[in-house]
């Protein structure tokens, strides 16, 4: 796991150093709850999904998900210990969800400062190569809070990171909850050199992509659910927020000497809520606990033949 997450330590410098690709867009959003699993246009059948419709109080479906456990810092000097406790992950009622239930990943801090959270993965249970991968998420905010929805090549144990490939569908830094990031990591474009785009949330019109208009009211992604997705085809991956495409990486655009690994192996899914680290920084007196990361659904659609 350290080899996987080392890129996150390097990624701590993203905000200070140039990236090979940074794209910004305005995302004026009003994501509606839905329980429909109808196939989106341009995509094939629903390959895999989790609507998190188990009984309230239960944990993630063990036939679909596995816990990643521990307090090693995960290569980023993170603070949390990942557990399989129902205090850190459970199905809960939520009227904003399509079926009235969601998975909640909860970061807690006790009276002596010990921080716990959860990280779940489909490693060994499901992986996909090509298609549309999407999730409807309500993210937390706060200094040092770091929710993510991402993917890793299932050959990681054999080839290591970044040669296995990594697709970050959504990451958010809690101190800037008005922006989410989508990134691609592979050999020759990882860590601070990842191919990264971002999208900014605006509650009203009139705001530039840089957010420099003082006339608009700026909301953030923690205020409602939003659908984050990647559309993955041979030689090309695109990132979306509520249907708005905000980032594209094409194999032809890779830097010299880099290798496109995303046509080679399926990737498995990960959901986690980290606390602290070199990229998001650390909680301070303004950070409130508990923090909750809510997942309405995760759906994977096949690529068209």
Enumerate the active-site residues: 166, 171
**List of residues 6+ apart from 213 with CB closer than 8 A:** 206, 207
| 293 to 191, 202, 241, 248, 264: CA distances (angstroms) | 24, 21, 17, 26, 32
Of the candidates 285, 8, 12, the one whose C-alpha atom is nearest the C-alpha of residue 143 is 285
Q: Which tokens go with 255?
A: 């830097």
Please give the sequence-ordered ranges of beta strands (E in DSSP) within the chain, or none if there are none. Answer: 26-27, 43-50, 66-67, 81-82, 89-93, 101-109, 115-117, 119-121, 131-138, 145-153, 166-171, 179-185, 195-201, 226-233, 236-241, 244-250, 267-275, 291-303
- Token pair 């496109």 is found at 260
Of the candidates 15, 16, 29, the one whose C-alpha atom is nearest the C-alpha of residue 200 is 29
Q: Which tokens go with 167?
A: 């697709």
**CA–CA separation, 261 vs 263, rounded Å?**
6
**CA–CA separation, 232 vs 221, rounded Å?**
24
For residue 70, what are the β-bridge partners? Answer: 82
């Amino acid at each position: 796991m350290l080899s996987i997450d080392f890129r996150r330590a390097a990624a701590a410098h993203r905000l200070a150093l140039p990236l090979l690709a940074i794209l910004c867009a305005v995302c004026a959003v009003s994501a509606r709850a839905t329980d429909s699993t109808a196939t989106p246009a341009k995509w094939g059948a629903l390959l895999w999904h989790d609507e998190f419709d188990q009984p309230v109080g239960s944990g993630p479906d063990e036939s679909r998900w596995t816990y990643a456990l521990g307090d090693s810092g995960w290569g980023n000097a993170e603070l949390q210990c990942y557990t399989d406790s129902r205090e850190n992950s459970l199905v809960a009622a939520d009227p904003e969800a399509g079926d009235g239930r969601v998975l909640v990943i909860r970061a807690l801090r006790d009276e002596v400062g010990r921080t716990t959270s959860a990280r779940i993965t489909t490693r060994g249970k499901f992986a996909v190569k090509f298609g549309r991968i999407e999730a409807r998420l309500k993210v937390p905010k706060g200094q040092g809070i770091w929710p993510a929805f991402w993917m890793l090549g299932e050959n990681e144990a054999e080839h290591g990171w970044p040669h296995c490939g990594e697709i970050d569908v959504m990451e958010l830094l809690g101190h800037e909850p008005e922006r989410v990031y989508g990134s691609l990591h592979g050999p020759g474009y990882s860590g601070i050199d990842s191919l990264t785009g971002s999208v900014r949330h605006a509650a009203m019109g009139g705001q530039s992509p840089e957010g420099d208009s003082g006339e608009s009211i700026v909301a953030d992604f923690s205020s409602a659910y939003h659908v984050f997705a990647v559309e993955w085809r041979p030689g090309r991956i695109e990132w979306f927020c509520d249907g708005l495409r905000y980032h594209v990486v094409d194999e032809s655009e890779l830097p010299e000497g880099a290798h496109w690994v995303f046509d080679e192996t399926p990737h498995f899914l990960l959901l986690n809520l980290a606390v602290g680290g070199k990229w998001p920084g650390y909680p301070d007196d303004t950070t409130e606990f508990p923090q909750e990361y809510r997942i309405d659904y995760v759906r994977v659609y096949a690529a068209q033949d």
